[in-house]
């Protein structure tokens, strides 16, 4: 079973082929089965616990080497959540909330240069972003101060979600006596 899967995975990919061969030599088949979830009957308590938190017990032996995530680490010193209120040519103004304290929101002007190219299109009025500063440990174990701005990416509201929101809003309006019974009926 494992060999069949491995050979399928590896087709047309020399690097993958080498990796599979490397790990098949390095790890016993029982461990590979464990990673692929083929080692225990479904629904047992122990298995459920392990599946839900596989970080240590089930080190995926086969593919983790291709990830760079485990080699880099960043610890946050301070985190904010912001909302864009004004967009200028090279900067944008945002309201920032410090996520680690109860300090009131503050307004700041931030430069577009700090936003990744991928996120520049997301800079719109009302857009939510996360800003963190902290320390990053690189793959070569160097530690450096870092600052990351990441804009929130959520899909547009679906019709189902919009209907749910409208219904809840109408119910809330009715509950506080704003006479929105008609709205409830419409959203229903």
Partner 1 sequence: MRQPTPDRYTRSIVLLGDFNPKIYQPAWFAAENLIGKQEAEGAKIGVIHPDVSIFSVDWARIEILRERFLVETTQQLIDKPLRDLVLGTFSILRHTPIRVLGINTSMHFRVASDEIYHNAGHRLAPKDIWEGVLDSPGLTRIMMRESVRKDGKRGYIDVRIEPSAEVMPGLFITVNDHYDCDASQEVIGCDKVLTILKDDWEVATARAEEIIYTLLKRVTSGDCSK
Of 74, 96, 173, 184, the residue at the interface with partner 1 (CB under 8 A) is 74
Q: Which is nearer to partner 1, 16 or 163 (CB)?
A: 16
User: To 5 degrees, how large is the angle CA 57–CA 63–CA 67?
Assistant: 100
* Measured distance CA(104)–CA(95) in Å, rounded: 10
Contacts of 105 (CB under 8 A, 6+ apart): 95, 96, 97
Note whether 168 binds partner 1 by CB under 8 A: no
Binding to partner 1 (CB under 8 A) within 102-131 occurs at 116-119, 130
Q: Which stretch binds partner 1 (CB under 8 A): 26-34, 82-90, 106-114, 142-150?
A: 142-150
Q: Which residues contact 96 (CB under 8 A, 6 or more apart)?
A: 80, 81, 82, 105, 106, 107, 108, 131
Binding site for partner 1 (CB under 8 A): 5, 8-9, 16, 36-37, 48-49, 51-56, 60, 62-64, 66-70, 72-76, 79, 81, 116-119, 130, 132-136, 146, 148, 150, 152-155, 158, 160-161
């Amino acid at each position: 079973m494992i060999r069949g899967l491995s050979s399928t995975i590896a087709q047309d990919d020399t690097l993958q082929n080498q990796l599979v061969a490397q790990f098949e030599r390095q790890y016993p088949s029982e461990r590979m089965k464990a990673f692929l979830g083929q080692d225990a009957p479904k629904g047992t308590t122990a298995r459920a616990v392990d599946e839900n938190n596989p970080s240590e017990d089930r080190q995926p032996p086969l593919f983790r080497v291709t990830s760079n995530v485990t080699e880099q680490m960043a610890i946050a010193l301070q985190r904010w959540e912001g909302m864009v209120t004004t967009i200028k040519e090279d900067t944008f103004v945002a309201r920032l909330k410090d996520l680690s304290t109860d300090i009131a929101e503050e307004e700041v002007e931030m430069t577009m240069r700090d936003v990744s190219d991928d996120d520049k299109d997301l800079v719109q009025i009302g857009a939510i972003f996360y800003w963190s500063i902290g320390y990053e440990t690189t793959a070569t174990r160097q530690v450096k101060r870092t600052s990351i701005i990441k804009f929130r990416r959520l899909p547009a509201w679906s019709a189902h979600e919009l209907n749910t929101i409208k219904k809840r809003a109408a119910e809330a309006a009715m509950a506080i006596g704003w006479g929105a019974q008609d709205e409830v009926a419409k959203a229903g």
